[in-house]
Structure 1
């Protein structure tokens, strides 16, 4: 498995930086190799091409990202707490790595359909976490029943995603973590039972 090879992480981390600074299309494999401190040929022992680097980068980084979100949310009791933790952890992780934030919010939005499908596949696990929280919220009567779960999931993920994209576009000049509580409040109120 290529993940266990010693230089895999080195190349992935270098790719995040190079792609964030130069944009995906201007990031030659040679630039990534130079940043990683490896020969150009070494990259091809791990990755088929530049697109493979981008997809692997997303799988690797998003895998760690989702793992952290799963750990953090599982330790909370109520759906309301879990949702707040999900939003906070999402914002915190991207605030902690501004290069990664640029790559996930801007550079991964490629128009290539095959690439999008691979990215969506990785996101499935994250969307499952959101689905579980919504399910619990309905059971706990925090959220109203009869919600279109697919739409709710898109709305929650889309709201967080757009909030981070806006922050990246504004060159991360403000503290995005401070917006977590307000985003949480807007979502909870939007999904709340009206008779409560």
Structure 2
């Protein structure tokens, strides 16, 4: 298998986002992805085992780079309250600027098989660690309740972000996703703070 870098690899990942968003995961044949990426069908198999591997790689690439940017951004904020605000804003801004990626990650990934869901687990776990670190910092610094259950709070944070994006998609992107960030942040902070 070819090394997963370079122009062709990137072209395939970007093409997969467009093809899956436009056709749905089950109707997104490898040949359509290859045509959109302007590569031969066989080239796809130099980088990926199958279509599931393309979807897993797409998610891991896109989400992985997003998480790295979140980690850098929140490291510049001293306050866990501001770190959480930054995370929420970045989450919404990232998906708002790429509606096709939002469709793929929010809708199409959920229709994929268990192997795909298992394949994206590692990168999701990394995102959960970022959320947990903010919550732990808030708890240990006395900003959030000392008996805050980090696991439950993380589920609430991630679940709210996830549902807000899904609702935005289901409403045909009719409003600004980023405009929801401050209200959601306020709800979290008032629910977790002393």
Same fold (TM over 0.5): yes
Query: For residues 145-184 of structure 1, what are the structure 2 equivalents within 5 Å?
Result: 145-184=146-185
Partner of 2:134: 133
Partner of 1:66: 67
Deviations 1:77-114 (A, max 9, x none): 10000000000000000011110000010011135222
Structure 1: tracts of 5 or more residues without a match: none
Deviations 1:118-158 (A, max 9, x none): 21221011111100100111122221011221111111011
- Partner Cα distance (1:9, 1:98) in 2: 18
Report deviation, 1:190.
1.1
> Would you say the 8 A contact 1:110–1:116 is kept in 2?
no
Which consecutive segments of 4 or more residues in structure 1 shift more than 4 A? none
Deviations 1:12-32 (A, max 9, x none): 000000000110000010100
Deviations 1:28-49 (A, max 9, x none): 1010000000011111111111
Quick check: 105-114 or 21-30, which moved more? 105-114
> Would you say the 8 A contact 1:69–1:86 is kept in 2?
yes
Partner of 2:18: 17
TM-score, normalization by structure 2? 0.96
Report deviation, 1:72.
0.9
**Is structure 2 residue 101 aligned with structure 1 residue 100?**
yes
> Would you say the 8 A contact 2:25–2:112 is kept in 1?
no
**Is structure 2 residue 183 aligned with structure 1 residue 185?**
no
Number of aligned residue pairs? 193
Structure 2: tracts of 5 or more residues without a match: none
Partner of 2:54: 53
